[in-house]
């Protein structure tokens, strides 16, 4: 049995996605993450508007893979590097709506990520020693995740 505890909810602002086209590996896109916010019982803050992005790859089997790097800034000024990989897929009609920015019930498609964290802030050093999973939803503004610490 796997036990978990809610870590935080995070919403990312993604105003632009650059389409690189069909590469040898699949359809490559790069999304710019310009901000956002996160909130949980033990930490909260904003997505730092530094260099952050999402390297997306649409595989031939219809699975979108994600490779994301962000910097979080907590309310007390600590910086936390967050990296996650994941995947999103579902029925073609549902994914067409998701990709068009239309509201879709998140239970109608699969969207999961595996965040890890890195920080030098002593009060958040516990983040350096955990694995997490997130359940995602794609909105018109960007992705929203419920992130859980694996105990």
Reference 82, options 108, 115, 53; nearest CA is 115
Q: Which domains does the chain have, with CATH numbers?
A: 4-150 (2.40.160.20)
What is the pLDDT at residue 67? 97
The pLDDT of residue 74 is above 90 = yes
The pLDDT of residue 46 is above 90 = yes
Q: CA–CA separation, 79 vs 120, rounded Å?
A: 8
- Residues with Cβ within 8 Å of residue 76, at least 6 apart in sequence: 123
The pLDDT of residue 129 is above 90 = yes
pLDDT band at 16 (very low <50, low <70, confident <90, very high): confident
What is the pLDDT at residue 50? 78
- Residues with Cβ within 8 Å of residue 54, at least 6 apart in sequence: 14, 30, 31, 33, 66, 67, 68
The pLDDT of residue 141 is above 90 = no
Q: CA–CA separation, 134 vs 137, rounded Å?
A: 10
Q: CA–CA separation, 136 vs 19, rounded Å?
A: 22
The pLDDT of residue 49 is above 90 = no
Per-residue pLDDT of 76-114, as tens digits, reads 999 999 999 999 999 999 999 998 888 999 999 999 999
């Amino acid at each position: 049995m796997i036990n978990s505890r809610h870590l935080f909810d995070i919403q990312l602002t993604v105003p632009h996605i650059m389409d690189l086209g069909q590469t040898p590996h699949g359809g490559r896109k790069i999304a710019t993450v310009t901000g956002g916010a996160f909130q949980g019982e033990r930490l909260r803050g904003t997505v730092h508007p530094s260099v952050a992005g999402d390297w997306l790859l649409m595989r031939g089997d219809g699975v979108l893979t994600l490779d994301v790097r962000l910097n979080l800034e907590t309310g007390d000024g600590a910086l936390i590097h967050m990296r996650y990989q994941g995947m999103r897929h579902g029925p073609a009609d549902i994914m067409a709506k998701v990709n068009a920015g239309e509201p879709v019930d998140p239970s109608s498609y699969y969207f999961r990520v595996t965040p890890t964290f890195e920080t030098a802030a002593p009060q958040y050093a516990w983040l350096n020693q955990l694995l997490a999973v997130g359940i995602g939803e794609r909105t018109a503004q960007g992705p929203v995740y419920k992130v859980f610490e694996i105990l």
